[in-house]
């Protein structure tokens, strides 16, 4: 799915070309991350609101060509100050970047390495799905420098997968994941819980299969979101499919999956992510949720540099026209920091480490105490430790709500103090 920013004050859209040289040089101390978006998919998954373009013969070579030109144009504009900055992570997201042909994505990777200061520590992830991800493609991308693969699996249950528009069965999943492991990719999969007709046993069986029958390094566990314009939401509305799990059942699924992951030796790393060993660092996924700098490439890719939000042109035609005209394929909006933004950023960064900030960092401890006492009594946070207030598994399940409540609280406290 595409990366986007937002959430701060209003601003005026301007050409990224006018801004790029200045903003990057002001941010030379902060690590930089690159996001390359491929808004194409073989077919649309039932739950997905992000589908944009169908992969057609010839799309790969043409789109890779525009990505390379985008990389070149932005390197020219932003380039001089880039050499002073470390690139922590590169993420090929989508859509389905794994639908790009082996040679095309490898060419984009080669262009990237030629123009940007990528080093052996840079995490380079390619996102994809099992269908269409061949051994040859994976080998070509590994040879070109990709070192992490993230697969949107959603479930390993063939019946549930078919109902979502996912075609590969368990045998194909096992074989494909093994190719990645054999190629020494850090291999990550996404699972969804709360699907129609899914039960707790099915989620636990997903964990068992992946832990015991594959060599994956990490796993994300996402609650199903029923987006209003998705085929799934329309099918539920028509009554042709059972409603997804309610909140009670989703909580049971999350808890059971978290227990199964712990039993299989996975470390609970961020609220929605588990890892098996320290090879898995999840750098991009963590930073993308904070206010870290992300330079975007591709149609409808989003990112930010400091308080400047960057948005790629949404349609392919507009994107290609902008690149042809040398206009960097993006526009940007400067946003003013909201009141209390510093503490809000600290909340988001700590939550990625399954913590709330230590009490010493709270802007108004007296006002926070009743709220935190309630959350402790409800079993959402544990006893304070030097790093902060740890989220329990229940706190991790509820973290989006905790985060948005604390953001509102922080804004209100800062406005009252102003
Ligand atoms: S592959 Fe990903 S982006 Fe494409 S339709 Fe499926 S979930 Fe959506």
**At 243, is the pLDDT very low, low, confident or very high (cuts 50, 70, 90)?**
confident
Q: Which pLDDT score is estimated for 266?
A: 98
* Tens of pLDDT, residues 86-130: 899 999 998 899 999 999 999 999 999 999 989 999 999 999 989
Distance 155 CA to ligand 1 centre (A): 14
Decide: 165 in ligand 1 pocket, CB within 6 A. Answer: no
Q: Which of 291-295, 334-338, 403-407 has the lowest average pLDDT?
A: 334-338
What tokens does 192 get? 């969804």
Residues in the chain: 418
Q: Which of 108-112, 133-137, 251-255, 284-288 has the lowest average pLDDT?
A: 133-137
Decide: 341 in ligand 1 pocket, CB within 6 A. Answer: no
Q: Set out the domains of the chain in order of their start, with CATH numbers.
A: 13-288 (3.20.20.70), 341-417 (1.10.10)
Which residues are CB-contacts of 318 (< 8 A; sequence separation ≥ 6)? 299
Decide: 45 in ligand 1 pocket, CB within 6 A. Answer: yes
* Tens of pLDDT, residues 338-361: 778 889 999 999 999 999 999 999
What tokens does 314 get? 């949404």
**At 364, is the pLDDT very low, low, confident or very high (cuts 50, 70, 90)?**
confident
Decide: 50 in ligand 1 pocket, CB within 6 A. Answer: yes
- Residue 8 clears pLDDT 70, i.e. is over it: no
Q: Which pLDDT score is estimated for 181?
A: 96
Choose the residue to mutate in 94, 127, 163, 232 for probing ligand 1, maximizing ligand atoms within 8 Å of C-beta. Answer: 94
Distance 96 CA to ligand 1 centre (A): 7
Q: Which pLDDT score is estimated for 23?
A: 66
Distance 314 CA to ligand 1 centre (A): 16
Mean pLDDT, the chain, as a whole number? 89
Distance 265 CA to ligand 1 centre (A): 30
Which residues are CB-contacts of 269 (< 8 A; sequence separation ≥ 6)? 218, 275, 280, 282, 354
* Tens of pLDDT, residues 195-224: 999 999 999 999 999 999 999 999 999 999
Task: State the average pLDDT over residues 383-391.
Answer: 94
Task: State the average pLDDT over residues 322-336.
Answer: 79
- Residue 367 clears pLDDT 50, i.e. is over it: yes
**At 6, is the pLDDT very low, low, confident or very high (cuts 50, 70, 90)?**
very low
Decide: 37 in ligand 1 pocket, CB within 6 A. Answer: no
């Amino acid at each position: 799915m595409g990366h986007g920013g937002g959430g701060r004050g209003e601003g005026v859209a301007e050409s990224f070309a006018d801004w790029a040289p200045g903003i990057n040089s002001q941010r030379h101390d902060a690590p930089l991350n690159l996001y390359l978006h491929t808004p194409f998919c073989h077919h649309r998954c039932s739950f997905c609101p992000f589908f944009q373009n169908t992969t057609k013969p010839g799309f790969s070579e043409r789109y890779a060509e525009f990505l390379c030109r985008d990389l070149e144009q932005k390197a020219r504009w932003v380039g001089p100050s880039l050499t002073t900055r470390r690139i922590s992570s590169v993420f090929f997201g989508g859509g389905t970047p794994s639908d790009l042909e082996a040679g095309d994505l490898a060419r984009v990777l080669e262009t990237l390495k030629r123009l940007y200061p990528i080093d052996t520590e840079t995490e380079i992830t390619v996102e994809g799905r099992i269908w269409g991800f061949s051994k040859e493609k994976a080998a070509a991308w590994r040879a070109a420098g990709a070192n992490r693969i993230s697969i949107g699996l959603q479930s390993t249950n063939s019946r549930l997968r078919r109902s979502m528009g996912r075609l590969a069965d368990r045998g194909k999943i096992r074989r494909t994941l093994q190719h990645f492991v054999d190629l020494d990719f850090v291999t990550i999969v996404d699972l969804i819980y709360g699907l129609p007709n899914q039960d707790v046993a099915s989620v636990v069986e997903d964990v068992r299969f992946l832990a015991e029958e594959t060599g994956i390094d990490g796993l994300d566990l996402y609650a199903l979101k029923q987006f209003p314009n998705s085929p799934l939401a329309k099918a539920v509305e028509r009554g042709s499919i059972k409603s997804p799990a309610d909140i009670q059942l989703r909580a049971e699924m999350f808890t059971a999956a978290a227990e199964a992951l712990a039993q299989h030796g996975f470390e609970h790393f961020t609220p929605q992510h588990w890892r098996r060993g320290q090879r898995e660092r999840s750098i991009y996924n963590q930073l993308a949720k904070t206010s870290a700098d992300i330079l975007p490439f591709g149609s409808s890719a989003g990112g930010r540099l400091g308080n400047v939000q960057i948005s790629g042109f949404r349609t392919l035609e507009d994107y290609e026209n902008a690149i042809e005209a040398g206009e960097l394929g993006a526009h940007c909006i400067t946003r003013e920091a909201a009141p209390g933004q510093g503490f809000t950023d600290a909340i988001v960064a700590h939550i990625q480490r399954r913590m709330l900030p230590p009490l010493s960092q709270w802007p108004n401890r007296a006002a926070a105490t009743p709220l935190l006492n309630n959350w402790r009594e409800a079993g959402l946070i544990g006893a304070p430790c030097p790093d902060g207030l740890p989220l329990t598994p229940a706190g991790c399940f509820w973290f989006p709500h905790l985060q948005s409540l604390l953001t509102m609280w922080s804004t209100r406290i800062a406005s009252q103090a102003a």
